[in-house]
Chains A and B, each alone.
Chain A
Amino acid sequence: MSHEHKLAIFRGTLKFKSNTQKIWGVLIFLSIVTTIEVALGITKPEILVANTFIGMKLLNWIFIILTLVKAYYIAWDFMHLRDEKSSLRRAIVWTPIFLVSYLIFILLFEADYIYNVFKDGFIQWNF
């Protein structure tokens, strides 16, 4: 039983000496990302709130991207997917990504349609 861990993160730019060190490194990284998220959530910079991209505020895009970054490091280093065979990794990661993207796409489109029905319909909802 050997315990070889892949000890480099950020595509090899940051290398750790031991697995324990890597764990603390990842923790620091995750804490920084969370702090950035909370800071942005509290200050809400004007530029990020005023501008939108595909119907959503830039701020919200940043939140979602940072969340996915956090999810990546939790799955890769805490759940040590980095050390698993790539076939297992792909089976675990791509299955939900495919299904969830489809679900989100279809539900959000439908929701937007219903929103417009409520808005443009002849029935008054706000009274």
Chain B
Amino acid sequence: MDSTITTGAEEENVWGGGNRPLGASYGKLMMWFFIVSDALTFSGFLAAYGFSRFKFIETWPIADQVFTHVPFIHGNFPMYYVAFMTFILIMSSVTMVLAVDAGHKMMKNKAILYMFLTIIGGAIFVGSQAWEWATFIKGDYGALETKGGRILQFVKADTGERAALADFSKEIPSERVTQELNNAVWYSSEASLPSYTVNEVTEGFLADPNILIRTETITEDGEKTLLTREESLTKIKDAKLVVEGANLIRNEYGSRLFADFFFFITGFHGFHVFSGVVINIIIFFNIILGTYERRGHYEMVEKVGLYWHFVDLVWVFVFTFFYLV
């Protein structure tokens, strides 16, 4: 039964105090306390995501159509990169268990090696997430927003592929430039202007009969509604804004809350991974310095390991609810 490291007294004295009914050290129990409360925080976020999604169930973006990129490769690869990230995180979880196992056996050099691999895995994951964020913020096709805040995306009628704004928009010379702090009347600046104005997109759309509008509404087949050319011609009159990429206010993928939750949940998780990497680095150097060798046990590695596995556990849920479901 006593498979995990014990640091307290071995004798059990029923009434004399100092009992350890759960058979775990103080530090480990406190780590579990933290993990359970942190799990509830993440559940709160994911449940809030579910709430908003069920509220807008008919118009929620389809993750397959949003996360389609793989670094250095062009093309449409839904899910592959996130699956790779998941695998990296599970892999670094494995090296962490191996480090804990090596610690149990007091094998210092093995523990060092496995901790190092764990840190590398965590760093790759955080880097991938940063890339994922950058791609998401940049956007790829661009879209129009209507008066009611709905997103209109464009599709090529002959191939069924998405059409980027740059593919069909007309260049119309205009004198409108980004208002900067120094030339505004009230010394207020504005965000950088999108590459095209609504007018340019509309004119380009009217000139190219091959372009159709895709709305947010999900059909019974689970696909986004594709309007006919006639419907598209009426719909484009509602357009008010050009949206490129994503920020906390609006995004080209659809529901505004989608981007908000993406930033919040993956950001909070990424922050956990980042802190995990930092803590792992501290432990890594402590092992090298021989702190735990002198202490006589590697329980610290085990406690940090618990946190690291928890981060992996949370990602498994984020992966399912954000990317798969």
Interface positions of A (Cβ within 8 A of B): 1-6, 19-20, 23-24, 26-27, 30-31, 34-35, 37-38, 41-42, 44, 49, 57, 60, 63-64, 66-67, 70-71, 74-75, 77-80, 83-85, 87-88, 91-92, 95-96, 99-100, 103-104, 107-108, 110-112, 114-115, 118-119, 124-127
Contacts and interface: CB of A to CB of B under 8 A. Distances in A.
B238 interface: yes
Interface string B1-42: 111111000000000000001111000010010011001100
B324 interface: yes
Contacts of B147: 127
Contact of B64 (A27, A35, A41): A41
A80 B54 contact: no
A120 B62 CA distance: 24
A4 B312 contact: no
A79 B98 contact: no
A39 B93 CA distance: 23
Chain B interface category by residue count: 35 or more
B41 to A, nearest CB: 11
From DSSP, what is the main secondary structure of chain A's interface residues?
helix
Contacts of B86: 34
B23 A84 contact: yes
B132 to A, nearest CB: 16
A67 B97 contact: no
Nearest to B101: A19
3 A-B pairs with least C-beta separation: A111-B54, A127-B148, A83-B3
Contact of B313 (A2, A75, A108, A124): A75
B325 A64 contact: yes
B150 interface: yes
